[in-house]
Amino acid sequence: MVARVVDGRLTVDWAYSRNIHHHDTVAALARDYLTALEDLLRHCLNHPTGGTTPSDFPLAHLDQPTLDRLNLGRNVEDVHPLTPMQQGMLFHTLLAPDSSSYFEQTILSLEGVTDVEALARAWQTVTDATPVLRSFVVHQGLAEPVQVVLRDVTVPVVTEDWRGLSEDEQRAALREFLARDEAAGIDPTAPPLSRVALARLTDTRVQIVWTFHHLLLDGWSLPLVMADLFTA
């Protein structure tokens, strides 16, 4: 028996000696094999955890009982360990959950935006294309924390209309928003770990507040994400 995957399809070839086996015997064995594969597929599709095994996430080094206990569900694309720096950030975040040490707010104003909804959709497009923006951390019950990448995440986007405010009032509104946003914090174990606020200042100018946990991104990553946003 030789099995291979060609164009995303499993192909199995059966070879046998007619001097030893009857054709009907091998054909029946092949049918039973196909039935067993179909039963396995049904089990994996109906299992509440999606039928994942340690081989699906080799970098995480999780055994089957641990995966079953985590019950991550079907929406998981990948699981991998945190880097040492990420582990340190997680440790300090859990040690002082009210601290804003790793709470990041990127603030910028963008000229030439006439369709705020299109900008919001662009953020979702970038999130869909960037695994780290679909990630969160699992640590409870594990010897080492892991980063879980979800297949689908909806980035929270809130919109504000400050066009009726003076420039001083807009600055005050921004300060108030930033304070509320920081007070809300970000839990690294509750996805998503980023959110966006879009406040219209004029008919063509938008104030952007991008909030995220430092676990996700560093100073080198930010320009890459922003470049993807502006081309989305």
Q: Which of 61-70, 147-156, 188-197 has the lowest mean pLDDT?
A: 61-70
| Domain spans, the chain | 2-46, 64-231
Parallel/antiparallel/unpaired status of strands 157-161 and 194-200: parallel
The pair of three-digit structure tokens given for residue 215, joined into one six-digit string: 């676990």
Q: Residue 48 above 70 pLDDT?
A: no
SS3 for 53-91 is CHHHCHHHCCCHHHHHHHCCCCCEEEEEECCHHHHHHHH
DSSP classification of residue 163: T
State the pLDDT confidence band at 226, using cuts at 50, 70 and 90. Answer: very high
State the pLDDT confidence band at 74, using cuts at 50, 70 and 90. Answer: confident
In terms of pTM, does the model score above 0.95?
no
Q: How many CA atoms lie within 13 A of 145 on its CB side?
A: 21
The CATH number of 64-231 is 3.30.559.10
